[in-house]
A and B are shown apart, each in its own frame.
Chain A
Amino acid sequence: MTALLTIIILVFILVAIWQMVKIFDLAQAKNENTQVASDKDNAVNGYLMMGFLAFIYIITIICFVKWGDLPLLSNSASEHGPIIDNLMITSLIIIFIVQTVTQFLLHYFAFKYKGEKGKKALFFADNNKLEFIWTIIPVIVLAGLIIYGLNTWINIMNVDESDDPIVIELYAQQFNWKARYAGEDNTLGKANVRLIDIDRANILGLDESDPNAQDDVITTELHLPVGRPVLFKMRSQDVLHSAYMPHFRAQMNCVPGMITQFGFTPTVTTADMRQTPEIIEKVNNINNIRVQNSKILVAKGEDPLDRYEFDYLLLCNKICGKSHYNMQMKIVVETQEEFDAWIKEQKEFKNSLIN
């Protein structure tokens, strides 16, 4: 209904504009009858250019003030998170400066040099010095960014095996996630989708004869001990998926037929994160929105929405089919003791099979 109303209103606006243009046309008819811009058009559009510049600046300011500090931007929960965030902020500052200056020059010139009859433009076709300057400046800035960026990238992507990371498999399928812990031996058992045996509850296709597989633990929630490096091995059984963990600044595709990997160290437990002022504010804000939405739902006779509580999430971020929009897994970062207690409650692979 809202959409229909919107459309109707827009149609009316359109009619109004059409009428305005007609009036404009009639007013002009006496003096000139041409579709080439007149001095008046140049002037009007010149001023509009300045107006548009103001619009760009205003929309930039509104966006940064209202949405620039979304906690996902500032609150990272992994060791490499702040490194990425710093690089991001550096890049944003450079972009912001270049954007502000070049948009100003573009629109200001469009305003300043608006055409007038009888005026002649400057014949200025080339200047090697200028060309050199604005080739070399981007070269220097980009060289800096490339070096900074590549250093960061190599740091993140090179997993140091000597750190003794805990190895966890992320297993993707339409449309859910599983996690497989390597168990005591910290070595994942061999697996292939050809070994999947649904009847025996071997849902990830583990090799039942592989001794390393026996103590593997398969879960539907991802628990991580805080401060311990994790090395994720990603697998997919059907189509491409992408394991996206935005709070940890982590993402890697899951590709059928191959194992991909990504490693990071979580630094903030879920409990601690819930206590940070940014997250408290964000959660309150979201709950206010949910209360408002619930009122509408209840009025329609539907159930109200649950209260939102902050949790880290693993999202699917590669189009994977109909329910792509709801493929998620909760991530819990906790202390080593909590983690040990939790993993002990889970069934080992050898005990989870149905014979």
Chain B
Amino acid sequence: MSANADTHLHAEEHGHHHHKETFITKYIFSQDHKMIAKQYLITGTIMGVIGVLMSIMFRMQIAWPEQPNVLFQALLGKWAPEGVMDADIYLALVTIHGTIMVFFVLTAGLSGTFSNLLIPLQIGARDMASGFLNMVSYWLFFLSSVIMILSLFVEAGPAAAGWTIYPPLSALPMAQGGSGMGMTLWLVSMAIFIASSLLGSLNYIVTVINLRTKGMSMTRLPLTIWAFFITAVIGVVSFPVLLSAALLLIMDRSFGTSFFLSDIFIQGEVLHYQGGSPVLFEHLFWFLGHPEVYIVLLPALGITSEIIATNSRKPIFGYRAMVASILAIAFLSTIVWGHHMFVSGMNPFLGSVFTFTTLLIAIPSAVKAFNYITTLWKGNLQMNPAMLFSIGLVSTFITGGLTGIILGDSALDINVHDTYFVVAHFHLVMGISALYGMFAGIYHWFPKMFGRMLNKNLGYVHFWVTAISAYGVFFPMHFIGMAGLPRRYYTNSNFPLFDDLANVNVVITIFAVIGGVFQLVFLWNFFISMFYGKKTEQNPWKSNTLEWTAPIEHIHGNWPGEIPHVHRWAYDYSKPGHDQDFVPQNIPLKKGEEELQH
């Protein structure tokens, strides 16, 4: 509590005599959570543009293999002699696309932005528990982003072993160009990224536990905060394991140890490694890798819970069940990693166990989906762009989640493992869903971040084109996967067997290009509205949560006077006995009004 008191004092001080903030302390080395959130968002957006651009390039290569392409010529330089994409850079693009989207956009960009923005504002705190660590966390993230981008310009090419960087491919520079300097930079970048993520997560956890305002009991927390909180816990539990895997891999690469390597003959020579196993790396990697899926997804689901309730003008259905399902998903997420490894050579009995735990996850997921749908039922739906993206999230979460029943089933995984079926599945259920969650969050909290509104019509265009192209890309992809087409093939032209799938790939690529280009609508809207958007009211969406009781102008300490006290849960929408269809959390209970036993 002392930190709270401390920042409290600070805020008072500010109120009295505005001590000067320089450009550097306000915009660059800021310790204010709202500014740090914006920094995360902008950095994440830039990384997102790079990641999406990469995917458009490799999709074009798949659709029109080995054809000259001006885009390649312009962007790939020596990697596209006469405009034809090289096979090495194809794998590098796939690898870096995955890395950037999973970690830099959907982990740092999503959690970093919204945990930072919303945790203090929604629990009623002056700032994060440690503003300094928060700043360090952002700058480590920034540094790791810079290193990741720099790795693209390495002579022998960036890392190209897939975003899962399985050794020995990633460990041996002679196995592949990208496994030299490119992979070193990848590992360094990720090590720094993990440090950043851990600092951020610890801060979120401590803040939620210690700095809640008076009356904000855990059962009155908005579901956004529950999601961010549990996400941070999963991060703290699982990211260190990836760090250890990365460190051991660095040792194998540079210091001659044999953690993951054994009995290797490559390029005419026997290497000295003995006794290690790549399967060990797979275990370590997926011990983070699978929880990572939920690190990406849970914040998006939390954001969706909040937005669907607000825009339905209804309480979120089954608050307790929603919290319980978050907890259940978080717990199960740490004991299912083996479903990525059914055919890795691990004991089939272990496969059985992982099938069992994996399919269990479908239960809390189904509860969440049904609760969202029930929240819409008999609502008074306000179709703001944020609401559209939230409904879109539920849609892709269902479509993508259902095919998990196939992939989580070890017997079925045998035949679709590492095919495009997998690509389709995880892009829908975590990629697109989390991206929708991020977009929903941006549309919803843009007024809070920038004091201005995004243009809604551009938002509608953005949503509908994105929604159609997302299904256009990933729905047909299931079918080429079921037809046995492996992922990460530079071209399928060496397999006449797959010639009849070529036109499907063209369709997919066209949708991907349309979807990618229409993100420009969003970027335009975002950057123009930041400066010229219509000024917002204090509570534009008529929402219950505390952030809308704070002034539009950002001030240190968030609230000018005392921090509001909380008297009710966050979802008193359309509650009988009230004139308005919303009752903010800081409004005391009326005489005789009962708080719902949720």
Contacts and interface: CB of A to CB of B under 8 A. Distances in A.
A1 B482 CA distance: 32
Interface string A292-333: 010000000000011010100101111111111110100000
B261 A256 contact: yes
Interface string B471-502: 11001101110111010111110111101111
A174 B266 contact: yes
Interface string B505-538: 0000010011001101100100000000110000
Contacts of B315: 123-125
Nearest to A156: B411
B432 to A, nearest CB: 13
A35 B453 contact: yes
B248 interface: no
Contact of B265 (A36, A237, A319): A237
Contacts of B383: 37, 41-42, 44-46, 110, 114-115
A251 B380 contact: no
Given A115-B383, A251-B343, A3 B70 contact: yes
B395 interface: yes
B394 A106 contact: yes
**Size range of the chain A interface in the assembly:** 35 or more
B38 interface: no
B8 interface: no
Contacts of B316: 125
B376 interface: yes
Interface in B249-273: 261-266, 268, 270, 273
B456 A193 contact: no
A134 B360 contact: no
Interface string B429-466: 00000000000000000000000011111101100100
A258 interface: yes
A161 interface: no
B262 to A, nearest CB: 3
Contact of B418 (A91, A198, A234, A318): A318
A138 interface: yes
A149 B412 contact: yes
Interface in A81-120: 83-84, 87-88, 91-92, 94-95, 98-99, 102-103, 105-107, 109-110, 113-116, 119-120
Contacts of B384: 36-37, 41
B363 interface: yes
23 contacts: A21-B457, A36-B382, A41-B383, A42-B382, A42-B383, A63-B475, A67-B476, A102-B370, A106-B373, A106-B395, A115-B313, A121-B314, A123-B573, A126-B319, A130-B370, A131-B371, A142-B362, A145-B409, A149-B411, A156-B411, A239-B168, A306-B496, A325-B87
Interface of A: 1-4, 6-7, 10-11, 14, 17-18, 21, 24-25, 33-37, 41-42, 44-46, 48-49, 52, 55-56, 59-60, 63, 67-68, 70, 72-73, 83-84, 87-88, 91-92, 94-95, 98-99, 102-103, 105-107, 109-110, 113-116, 119-127, 130-131, 134-135, 137-139, 142, 145-146, 149-150, 152-154, 156-158, 173-174, 192-194, 196, 198, 205, 234, 237-240, 242, 244, 246-247, 249-253, 255-258, 260, 282, 285-286, 289-290, 293, 305-306, 308, 310, 313, 315-326, 328
